[in-house]
Structure 1
Amino acid sequence: MLRSLVLKGVYKSDQDDILRSFYFPALAAANRYDRAVGYFSASSLSEAAQALTVFIKGDGVIRLVVGAFTAQSDIDAVREGLRLKEISERIGAEMVAAVSDIDDELFQHRFKALAWLIAHGRLEIRVALRPNGIYHDKVGIISDADGDAVVFSGSANESAAALLPTQNYESINVFPTWRPELADFHEPHRDSFTRLWDNKSRGTVVIDLPTALKDNLLEVAASLDGPPDSEREAQIAERLRALEASDEAEPEARLPRAPAMIHGMPFKMREHQLEALRAWQANGYRGVFDLATGAGKTITAVYATVQMAKGIPGLAVVIAAPYQSLADQWCEILEAFNIRPLQCYISKENWHDDLQKRVLDMQGGSDAFQALVVVNRTLRTPEFQAALARIPGNRLLWIGDECHHHGSESLASALPAHAHYRIGLSATPLHYLDEERNARLKAYYGDIVFSYTLAQAIADKVLTPYNYYPTVVPLTADEASEFISLSDDIARAFMREDKGSGPPSTMLTALLMKRARVVGSAANKMIALQKTLAGRPPQQHALFYCGDGQVEMDGVDEDDGAEDGQPTRQIEAVSRLLDDEGWKVSRFTARESRRERESILQSFKTGAIDGLVAIKCLDEGIDVPACSIAYILASSKDPRQFIQRRGRILRRSPGKTIANIHDYIVVLPEDAEDVSGAARKLITGELKRVAEFSGLAENRNEAYAALRPILTAYDLEHVL
């Protein structure tokens, strides 16, 4: 409640973070918010919406008054009940025009908060009209369920500019209503707002929100995947403050630097990270860091950037990530190190012109430091390639995140050959089949200069220990028949190709993928999963990894895109099963938009949903440290995939002491006719993953006992 907060009487922007120290805690305790912000503009609307991302989490209501220019004739007409629609439409059009072209990130985030609240019936906006001028009062009343309130007034415009001490000197005065000695200060403001809202304020006429602006807000709300996030608002505001402060500071203040705190903890490099950097330096500032997922590859590379920027004037760092979600995570980490990179992804219009200017500065040596973050798709474009080629190579640090992607022919040719300094980052740098790909990777980045295994990370308490629970799942008779037939076709294709270590042909790849889908989407996995979940309540922070194939299900709804008794995608089947079991889950696949994925991940992290049902989109890089349990219903034979997946759930998180992995191991049924030995090959292939997972598990003996019957049947006890 409000009375429990420690509030200052005056907040000044040169000393206080008004957003975090006042608005966030006060509105988080509120169930009602009355606000008047003066003349309508983009900045005043941003002011009105400040910290409403916190207010969204409750169920309180907001009354907002904004002012507008008008004439005496308009006031008279409205008072007489004339031309109200005409005047409202004109003002509404002016308001929409005032906000339609604003691309400021902070404004857009807060505008979405207003839109969400309007759409959910929790925000009412009215417009105050005054003749020969504007309504200009600025007052707020934050009330809680106990009847207490905090009244504040003053000059603070919570727009982007007003948040920056170097732009405007702002202050607000705060008056808690439970302090009787302050009654003469807060009561006039409360009475004034009530009169204004009720259209009883002398010299002012109040009308409802114009339809044009309300429709605009509702349109924005319809495009949202979820409510805007308060932490994101704070990050944007902090970045704006830091950016403005650095622009006014000496050039040295804009250089990268290690933070005092990161992720709420004191920052300190781990010994294995420093060892990696020493090995990289000894190798001529080139090489690959083979660090276990969650061991801090990103931090290691950024710290290298900080150190190199001290000794190389005009250093330019270019970071290439495979996906936008990973690029966003890089940008967040970089900001903690006082690095504000140009984001070269999403839309070319957002970065192309700025990139040209920055490259000119890099060529001329006028910038002390520059940073770019690009995704692999943009990296290959002619526009980015042309700009990249113009960056002086003797001042270029190239960082390839998940660098195993750069072994492909198309990406290898896009890497800057003139970059003097190169870091490759991957928990799984080498491909288990394609030696040509591995050779291209080594030719560019050099050797793996440092490795840090999962066993080391768990022993050093960098990652969380885990339990492993394998479940044997036999194929159905039809699945077994198809698997054996495909295995025979694959064997014949291998004999025809005989390409040694080269990549498989298109036809062979198609056969391998088809057989993998049979294993990944085995129908009996659904029965096994149901048994695993039976009698257990839903558990938060769970991941379900599915295949991209189909399973047979009875009674499938038409909404799932299949007739009764026909195949449906495994991810749909798993989602339905979890829904039946009372789980709140969301799918996380390539079908969801970037915005949808961001919203889903936020819901997952906060516990608004219990789990994610994914295909492949969580295999690399996505940071979900809170995850504590995984169900692996499909996995390829590529060690890269299951190593990445295991690392995904072993990241450290507050209160997380152990992780649990449930794995479903496919075998042929005992009565399958297996002349070619497909059954043994299948279980042998599956056991590569099982051996990797069980070897470091806390309950490795229990895992072995669960698999012992099948190991004995195929004389494979030696594998584990």
Structure 2
Amino acid sequence: MFDSLTFKLQYRSSHDNLFEHFYKPCLNNAIKYDRASGYFTSESLKLLAEGLDVFLFNGGQIRIVANPNLSQEDIEAIEKGHAARESVIERRLLKEIELSYKTIEDDTLNVLSWLIYRGQLDIKIAFTTNGSIYHEKFGIFTDQNNNSIAFSGSANETYNGLSQNFEKIDVYSNKQDKHRIDNAIVDFEKLWANETNELKVINLPETIRKKMIEYKSSVPPLALKNKELEANERRIEPRKYQKEAINSWKTAGYKGILEMATGTGKTITSLLAAKDFNETVKTCVTVIVVPFQHLVNQWEKDINFILGTDVVKCMGSQSSWINKAKEMVQEYNLGLIDQFVVVTTYKTATSSHFKNLFRKLNNSAMLITDECHYITFKGFKDFPFEKFKARLGLSATPDRWWDEEGTSYMKKSIGEVVYEYTLDQAISNEKLTKYDYYPHLVEFNESEMLEYNKITQQIINHLNKDDIDTKEKLEGLFRKRSNLINKARNKIKVFLQDFKTEDLDKISHTLVYCAPGDIEMIVKSISDLGVKVSKFNSDVNNKDREKLLTMFEQAQIQVLVAIKCLDEGVDVPATKTAYFLASTSNPRELVQRRGRILRNHKGKSFAVIHDYIVLPIGLTYDDFYKIAVKELPRFSEFNDSAINTTQNKIEMSKVLEDYNLTHLMYKKPWDVYKETKELYDNDSIK
């Protein structure tokens, strides 16, 4: 850790060895190294490799942004329009790699190749848009406690720059330097995201990345046999409950759904199942369908680690993936390749081009559907399920809410639930953290209740009509009525009163879920209290979301305010506290939100959930029951597994006893659903 080190304000070649005195101690105590360098050559790793052992042992990640080191001939070719800048850069980098391959005699290039393959080294290329040379030089080291050290100076990330040239660097490591360190972090993140004025930053060309990976040996070099990777390799062996899940799926004929609590490793379990199936059939295409584009990249990392095979990402515009996918399918059908993985979104999977392409498979295939409740008859009625001998669905809540026909079609296509791993089991087995649950009562006033009853009557008046216009009106009325509860006038007021009682300086890793339309007001109210807060909604693009989540994890942002963007697929395991200001009655939303908050994370022993329950206290029995029957199933769902469940029941019973409704404390969402549906079905029969 950096706390145990003392750094000088400046290191200069006249009396310091830059590598021995500064770089090596930093690498030995860091888990992250971000570097913006004027020039980068792979030869520089010949020196850096001396300090990488401990860095890699700690699971270190390196990100480098560098100038491609173009020759005068290259620059003239670009300026005269004889060649495109990107192609010149690609050619120059290729030459650099080949040069390094010939000149480096030790295992350095192999280490470089494995670092890139493992995802521990990422390189981006920067060039100016005004014809000048990108030549800035600064870097940031970060340790396991998120302490950072920044430096800037004349040294390039080259062998000569680090060992032979006369160089000087300035170091910022003290508390009084925090603003300089923070500035360096912000500058690098903007650089990495290609958001720096007069600069263009591009990913390392895929041809170069593949070329570098070609140089890796079949067995990882000793430098990569670190504690973190060995632990990961041990984790490839399924845990007990994962073995049970996989065996149940195999027994069911390689078809079925794993109903596992959010945060219990459904992704890893499914890939271990795919690994088992691939090893059995030898040749296999694995198609993985996920809800959102950002999840494709999350899955890719785990696929690379567990399956170690080629991945084709099919998402976005058809032109960006169709040719590559066609090529892979053709090569597979011809027997030129044995295995590959396709990761796509539900949107792309339901396109005619995707369906037609995978109808052409003539050998073994496996289908994994993440959050399989997204499978609908409308989107998948002509999907080539028959081409997939193995089908595996994943969901914490596979049954579709108020859509039994949809649930039936989904299970007919994928299989029945073959294994269940509940939240209580996960908490008991320490796969999820324990949590305290605090329900806060919010008064639903008389005028709001009158409006609620008015909308309810409008709904009743439309229920017996069966035309498209009526269905649209009903959907709008149901949303309007639901929003009355979600946006109860007293809710934000009660929340802010509760929030102010916290130690605002120490608040961190906190999520606030609110209703649409309230996010700006809540962000401003929290910001006015001097708390670092950001919204996390559809206004925020994917690139900025990654940045916000990193800042949130590092406690640079204390609070994130969201609507639905964190419901599925976004990992925020650092979260310790959550405030629920808005929820639907759909249990899927409740289960997913709670699961994200209960994920294990270093330094996190338990979590806290604050829930704002709207009740028309003081109004008639009928009015009270109408709202309570919608709000209290959430109380039952959250409270049953909480540490402080008994105290909450005592407090809630004091409110419900006046209405003789204490039994509602024990009814969960699906219990109420079944009772309501039974009443509805009986009314329909009459």
The two structures have a TM-score, normalised by structure 1, of 0.68
Q: Counterparts of 1:370 and 1:70 in 2: how far apart (Å)?
A: 41
Structure 1 residue aligned with 2:491: 525
* Structure 1 position 446 matched with structure 2 position 415: yes
* Structure 1 position 515 matched with structure 2 position 474: no
Q: Counterparts of 1:613 and 1:323 in 2: how far apart (Å)?
A: 20
Q: Counterparts of 1:153 and 1:626 in 2: how far apart (Å)?
A: 33
Structure 2 residue aligned with 1:111: 125
Partner secondary structure for residue 343 of structure 2: strand
Q: Which amino acid aligns with 2:453?
A: I
Q: Which runs of 5+ in 2 are unaligned?
A: 8-22, 50-64, 94-115, 142-147, 170-190, 220-227, 666-686
Which of 385, 393, 402 aligns to 1:424? It is: 393
Task: Give matches, 1:172-211, under 5 Å.
Answer: 175=163, 186=164, 189-190=165-166
* Structure 1 position 221 matched with structure 2 position 195: yes
Q: Counterparts of 2:461 and 2:498 in 1: how far apart (Å)?
A: 39
Structure 2 residue aligned with 1:536: 502
Task: Give matches, 1:158-307, under 5 Å.
Answer: 175=163, 186=164, 189-190=165-166, 220-222=194-196, 243-244=213-214, 261=230, 266-307=235-276
Which of 653, 663, 667 aligns to 1:718? It is: 663
| 1:310 Cα offset (Å) | 1.4
Q: Which amino acid aligns with 1:620?
A: E
Partner secondary structure for residue 387 of structure 2: coil
Partner secondary structure for residue 529 of structure 1: helix
Structure 1 residue aligned with 2:350: 380
The structure-2 alpha-carbon separation of the partners of 1:429 and 1:690, relative to structure 1 and needing over 3 Å to count, comes to same
Q: Which amino acid aligns with 1:609?
A: I
| 1:328 Cα offset (Å) | 1.6
| 1:361 Cα offset (Å) | 1.3
Q: Which amino acid aligns with 2:364?
A: R
Task: Give matches, 1:380-399, under 5 Å.
Answer: 380-392=350-362, 394-399=363-368
Residues 65 and 125 in structure 1, CA contact (< 8 A), matched pair in contact too = no
Deviation digits for residues 333-356 of structure 1 (CA, Å, limit 9, x no counterpart): 111112341111133333211111
Q: Counterparts of 2:33 and 2:365 in 1: how far apart (Å)?
A: 51
Task: Give matches, 1:592-603, under 5 Å.
Answer: 592-603=540-551
Q: Which runs of 5+ in 1 are unaligned?
A: 6-19, 51-61, 72-87, 128-138, 157-171, 176-185, 194-216, 251-258, 549-568
Residues 279 and 450 in structure 1, CA contact (< 8 A), matched pair in contact too = yes
Residues 155 and 168 in structure 2, CA contact (< 8 A), matched pair in contact too = no
| 1:495 Cα offset (Å) | 5.2
The structure-2 alpha-carbon separation of the partners of 1:22 and 1:414, relative to structure 1 and needing over 3 Å to count, comes to farther
Structure 1 residue aligned with 2:55: none
| 1:416 Cα offset (Å) | 2.7
Which of 305, 310, 313 aligns to 2:279? It is: 310
* Structure 1 position 684 matched with structure 2 position 620: no
* Structure 1 position 98 matched with structure 2 position 85: yes
* Structure 1 position 348 matched with structure 2 position 296: no
| 1:577 Cα offset (Å) | 1.4
Structure 2 residue aligned with 1:462: 431
The more displaced of 504-513 and 363-372 is: 504-513
Residues 523 and 535 in structure 2, CA contact (< 8 A), matched pair in contact too = yes
Structure 1 residue aligned with 2:640: 695
* Structure 1 position 69 matched with structure 2 position 72: yes
Q: Which amino acid aligns with 1:397?
A: M
Which of 536, 550, 553 aligns to 1:588? It is: 536
Question: Larger C-alpha radius of gyration, 1 or 2?
Answer: 1
| 1:488 Cα offset (Å) | 2.2
Partner secondary structure for residue 124 of structure 2: helix
Structure 2 residue aligned with 1:657: 605
Residues 287 and 424 in structure 1, CA contact (< 8 A), matched pair in contact too = yes
| 1:421 Cα offset (Å) | 0.7
Residues 37 and 67 in structure 1, CA contact (< 8 A), matched pair in contact too = no
The structure-2 alpha-carbon separation of the partners of 1:481 and 1:28, relative to structure 1 and needing over 3 Å to count, comes to same
| 1:288 Cα offset (Å) | 0.5
Structure 1 residue aligned with 2:568: 620
Deviation digits for residues 162-206 of structure 1 (CA, Å, limit 9, x no counterpart): xxxxxxxxxx7964xxxxxxxxxx4xx21799xxxxxxxxxxxxx
| 1:418 Cα offset (Å) | 2.3
| 1:513 Cα offset (Å) | 1.2
Structure 2 residue aligned with 1:326: 295
Q: Counterparts of 2:542 and 2:140 in 1: how far apart (Å)?
A: 35
Q: Counterparts of 1:365 and 1:266 in 2: how far apart (Å)?
A: 32
Residues 542 and 629 in structure 1, CA contact (< 8 A), matched pair in contact too = yes
Q: Counterparts of 1:99 and 1:46 in 2: how far apart (Å)?
A: 24
* Structure 1 position 364 matched with structure 2 position 334: yes
Deviation digits for residues 434-486 of structure 1 (CA, Å, limit 9, x no counterpart): 11111101111111001111011111111101110001111244322221211
Residues 578 and 609 in structure 2, CA contact (< 8 A), matched pair in contact too = yes
Residues 39 and 135 in structure 2, CA contact (< 8 A), matched pair in contact too = no
Q: Which amino acid aligns with 1:448?
A: V
Partner secondary structure for residue 636 of structure 1: coil
| 1:578 Cα offset (Å) | 1.1
The structure-2 alpha-carbon separation of the partners of 1:26 and 1:397, relative to structure 1 and needing over 3 Å to count, comes to same
Q: Which amino acid aligns with 2:510?
A: A
Structure 2 residue aligned with 1:166: none
Residues 194 and 201 in structure 2, CA contact (< 8 A), matched pair in contact too = no
Structure 2 residue aligned with 1:402: 371
* Structure 1 position 339 matched with structure 2 position 305: no
Deviation digits for residues 588-634 of structure 1 (CA, Å, limit 9, x no counterpart): 22232222222222222222211221111111121111111110000
Structure 1 residue aligned with 2:109: none
Residues 63 and 124 in structure 1, CA contact (< 8 A), matched pair in contact too = no
The structure-2 alpha-carbon separation of the partners of 1:263 and 1:532, relative to structure 1 and needing over 3 Å to count, comes to farther
| 1:679 Cα offset (Å) | 2.7
Q: Counterparts of 1:279 and 1:474 in 2: how far apart (Å)?
A: 48
Residues 65 and 126 in structure 1, CA contact (< 8 A), matched pair in contact too = no
Task: Give matches, 1:24-43, under 5 Å.
Answer: none
Q: Which amino acid aligns with 1:421?
A: A
Partner secondary structure for residue 469 of structure 1: strand
| 1:66 Cα offset (Å) | 5.6
Q: Which amino acid aligns with 1:684?
A: V
Deviation digits for residues 623-682 of structure 1 (CA, Å, limit 9, x no counterpart): 1111111100000001111111111101111111111000000112524x77xx243121
Query: How many residues are treated as equivalent by the alignment?
Result: 564
The structure-2 alpha-carbon separation of the partners of 1:537 and 1:242, relative to structure 1 and needing over 3 Å to count, comes to farther
Residues 39 and 157 in structure 2, CA contact (< 8 A), matched pair in contact too = no
Q: Counterparts of 1:146 and 1:633 in 2: how far apart (Å)?
A: 40
The structure-2 alpha-carbon separation of the partners of 1:575 and 1:390, relative to structure 1 and needing over 3 Å to count, comes to same
| 1:241 Cα offset (Å) | 8.0
The structure-2 alpha-carbon separation of the partners of 1:101 and 1:287, relative to structure 1 and needing over 3 Å to count, comes to farther
| 1:244 Cα offset (Å) | 2.4
| Identity, % of aligned positions | 27
Q: Counterparts of 1:148 and 1:434 in 2: how far apart (Å)?
A: 60
| 1:492 Cα offset (Å) | 3.7
Structure 2 residue aligned with 1:631: 579
Q: Which amino acid aligns with 1:375?
A: T
Q: Counterparts of 1:237 and 1:26 in 2: how far apart (Å)?
A: 33
| 1:715 Cα offset (Å) | 1.7
Q: Counterparts of 2:437 and 2:418 in 1: how far apart (Å)?
A: 31
Q: Counterparts of 1:146 and 1:400 in 2: how far apart (Å)?
A: 43
The two structures have a TM-score, normalised by structure 2, of 0.71
Q: Counterparts of 1:577 and 1:295 in 2: how far apart (Å)?
A: 35
Which of 591, 594, 602 aligns to 1:646? It is: 594
| 1:573 Cα offset (Å) | 1.6
The structure-2 alpha-carbon separation of the partners of 1:66 and 1:109, relative to structure 1 and needing over 3 Å to count, comes to closer
Q: Which amino acid aligns with 1:510?
A: G
Residues 285 and 340 in structure 2, CA contact (< 8 A), matched pair in contact too = yes
The more displaced of 23-32 and 295-304 is: 23-32
Q: Which amino acid aligns with 2:383?
A: A
